[in-house]
Chain A
Amino acid sequence: GNSVTQMEGPVTLSEEAFLTINCTYTATGYPSLFWYVQYPGEGLQLLLKATKADDKGSNKGFEATYRKETTSFHLEKGSVQVSDSAVYFCALSQIQGAQKLVFGQGTRLTINP
C-alpha cells in the first residue's frame, strides 16, 4: 500500500538556520505530493505541492522537489524564522484532485530566536 515516511522529530533550530525535513514515499504510479503545516492552535493548511516528477513546489520561502528516482519530497527553507514553528506533514494522494491523502507522521519544528 501507499505510505509516507518523515524524519523523526522534534527538530529545534536557531533563527536564520537552514532547514531540511526529509520525506520519502512508497506508492505505485505517479502520486501527487504535498506538504501541510499545522501552526499552534490552528488547523491544517496546505503549504506546497507537486503533481509530477521534477516539479518544485514553493511557498513562503519553503521548497520541495518531487524526486521520483529517490521517491522523495524533502522540505527545505534557507533561513527559518520563529514564526515557522509548527508541525509539518508530508502527504501523498494517488487520486487526481488531492483526494484520500496518506500522511506521514509529522515533524514538530521549533525555531528559537
Chain B
Amino acid sequence: SAVISQKPSRDICQRGTSLTIQCQVDSQVTMMFWYRQQPGQSLTLIATANQGSEATYESGFVIDKFPISRPNLTFSTLTVSNMSPEDSSIYLCSVVSSREQFFGPGTRLTVL
C-alpha cells in the first residue's frame, strides 16, 4: 500500500492569486496523478506526473494553468494559477502501487 499526505488540507484564496499543493508519498512510485473534484461532481483527471519528464495533461487542462513539478519519486506539486471562483474544488493526488491506485486526503480550495 501507499500512504499519501497533502498540504495544505484546505485554503481560501483570492481570485488572481496562485496556490501550490504538495503531495508526499511514503514510498517511491513511478507515476503520480492529479485529480480535481468540483463541488457535487465526480473526479476528473488533470494530469499524470512522471519523474524526470514533463507532466501529461488531459483534454481541457493546460500547463500554464496547472503547472506540475515531480522532482523525485516520492513528491509532486500542483500549482493552480491565476485562480478564479471556478477553480474552487478538491484537488487530490494519487499513485499506483501494486496495481492499485491510492489517493491522498485532498486539498479543499475555495476561491473568493
Which A residues are closer than 8 A to B by beta carbons?
Answer: 36, 42-46, 49, 89, 93, 96-106
Contact = CB atoms under 8 A, between A and B. Distances in A.
Given A98-B96, A99-B96, A100-B48, A43 B104 contact: yes
Contacts of B103: 36, 43-45
Contacts, number: 49
Interface stretch (B12-20, B37-45, B60-68): B37-45
A46 B2 CA distance: 12
B100 A46 contact: yes
28 contacts: A36-B103, A43-B104, A43-B105, A44-B94, A44-B106, A45-B102, A46-B101, A46-B102, A49-B100, A89-B42, A89-B43, A93-B101, A96-B99, A97-B96, A98-B96, A98-B99, A98-B100, A98-B101, A99-B33, A100-B33, A100-B45, A100-B48, A101-B43, A101-B101, A103-B42, A103-B44, A104-B42, A106-B41
